[in-house]
Amino acid sequence: MDLVVQDTPEAVAECAAQHVASRVLALPSAHLGLATGATPRGVYQRLTNAHQRGMLPLSEVRYFMLDEYVGIDTKEPTSFQNVLRRELLSPVGAEPHSLEILDGNAADLSAEADRFEEALRSSGGIDLQILGIGTNGHIGFNEPGSSFTSRTRMVELHEETVQSNSRYFDSPEVVPRKALSQGLATIFEARSILLLATGDSKARAISSMVEGPTSPSNPASILQRHPDVTVIMDAAAASRLRSAQSAISKVSA
Ligand code: PGA
């Protein structure tokens, strides 16, 4: 696992955008897995800016959703599909079908999860999966207790996640309690993973992911076993890492 510590969230976004851009420049038809949430927003802004300045061709890229709420209309601003189209795909002029969606309004959510898995498999898989991390260590919406062999499926969100997500909704009653999420085994199959974390609320989850035991009670810890993971975080998110000092020296080297 490569640990990169930057001073600020803006520097994390800049560094992460460069990481993504370098992969896309090396492989213009890359398959990118896209996380939603607050953390990757600055990355998508920078990718959009680079594209609009003519420095980053994105027309051949294919995108895959990481997760989606169940039961939120895609016209709602909180729908993850809506967020991704608004913040990245529309500004870069991506074709609507270049995003492989997870349809949280499908009549049969289990069939939708299977369809997504099949689309992923037949596409050849994800080259670079962008991830955030929950305060409880979830990746995607794989909450503590999720099996390391889990595939894309409907999941129940833990109370901590519902509380955290409530900042995006007008009232607590309308915060979704279910979602579709790529499974841990699905995420693990991505050839390369970029995980982003900012703020001290993520410090505990980051130290458990990097230095804790690998266990389904700590879902992100599965990434310790992956051969190509880069974690870009700010100093606050890295503050509980015993290895933070060596990570910091690695960045400044
Ligand atoms: P955040 O969410 O980027 O909004 O903090 C991350 C996550 O819950 O995976």
Pocket test for ligand 1, best of 36, 133, 166 (most atoms within 8 A of CB): 133
Tokens representing 5 are 């510590």
Residues 68-74: what's their mean pLDDT?
96
Instruction: Give the pLDDT of residue 246.
Output: 55
pLDDT band at 253 (very low <50, low <70, confident <90, very high): very low
DSSP assignment of the chain:
-EEEEESSHHHHHHHHHHHHHHHHHH-TT-EEEE--SSTTHHHHHHHHHHHHTTS---TT-EEEESEEESS--TTSTTSHHHHHIIIIITTTT--GGGEE---TT-SSHHHHHHHHHHHHHHHT--SEEEE---TTS-BTTB-TT--TT--SEEEEPPHHHHHHHGGGSSSGGGS-SEEEE--HHHHHTSSEEEEEE-SGGGHHHHHHHHHS--BTTBGGGGGGG-SSEEEEEETTTTTT-TTHHHHHHHHH-
Q: Are strands 178-181 and 67-69 parallel, antiparallel or unpaired?
A: antiparallel
Average pLDDT over residues 227-235: 98
| Nearest protein Cα to ligand 1, atom 8 | 134
Per-residue pLDDT, averaged over 66-95, amounts to 96
pLDDT in tens, 116-154: 999 999 999 999 999 999 999 999 999 999 999 999 999
**Mean pLDDT, to the nearest integer, of 54-83?**
96
Distance 198 CA to ligand 1 centre (A): 9
The ligand 1 atom nearest the CA atom of 199: 5
Q: pLDDT at residue 249 above 50?
A: no
Q: What is the mean pLDDT of the chain?
A: 95
* pTM of the entire predicted model: 0.95
For atom 2 of ligand 1, which residue has the closest CA? 37
What is the Å distance from ligand 1's center to 125 Cα?
23
Instruction: Note the pLDDT tens digit of each residue in 208-226.
Output: 999 999 999 999 999 999 9
| Residues flanking ligand 1, CB < 6 Å | 37-39, 132-134, 138
* Residue 243 pLDDT grade (very low, low, confident, very high; cuts 50, 70, 90): confident
Q: How far is the CA of 171 from the centre of ligand 1 (A)?
A: 19
Give the separation between CA 217 and CA 16, rounded to whole angstroms.
27
CB of 223 within 8 A of CB of 184? Answer: no
Would you state the pLDDT for residue 15?
98
The span from the CA of 43 to the CA of 39, in Å, is: 8
The whole-number pLDDT of residue 228 equals 98
**Which atom of ligand 1 lies at the shortest distance from residue 201's CA?**
5
Q: What Rg do the C-alpha atoms of the chain give, in angstroms?
A: 17
Q: Using the atom order of ligand 1, give the atom closest to the CA of residue 202.
A: 5
- Each domain of the chain, given as residue ranges in start order, spans 2-251
How sure is the predictor about 252, in pLDDT bands with cuts at 50, 70 and 90? very low
Pick the atom of ligand 1 nearest to 165's CA: 4
Distance, in Å, from the CA atom of 56 to the CA atom of 28, rounded to the nearest integer, reads 9
Domain at 2-251: CATH architecture? 3-Layer(aba) Sandwich (3.40)
Question: What six digits make up the tokens of 186?
Answer: 């699905």
Contact between residue 69 and residue 104 where contact means Cβ atoms under 8 Å apart: yes
In this prediction, residue 169 carries a pLDDT of 92
- pLDDT tens readout for residues 143-190: 999 999 999 999 999 999 999 999 999 988 899 999 999 999 999 999
Ligand 1 binding pocket mutation candidate from 34, 135, 164, 198 (most atoms within 8 A of CB) = 164
Which are the catalytic amino acids? Answer: 67, 136, 138, 143
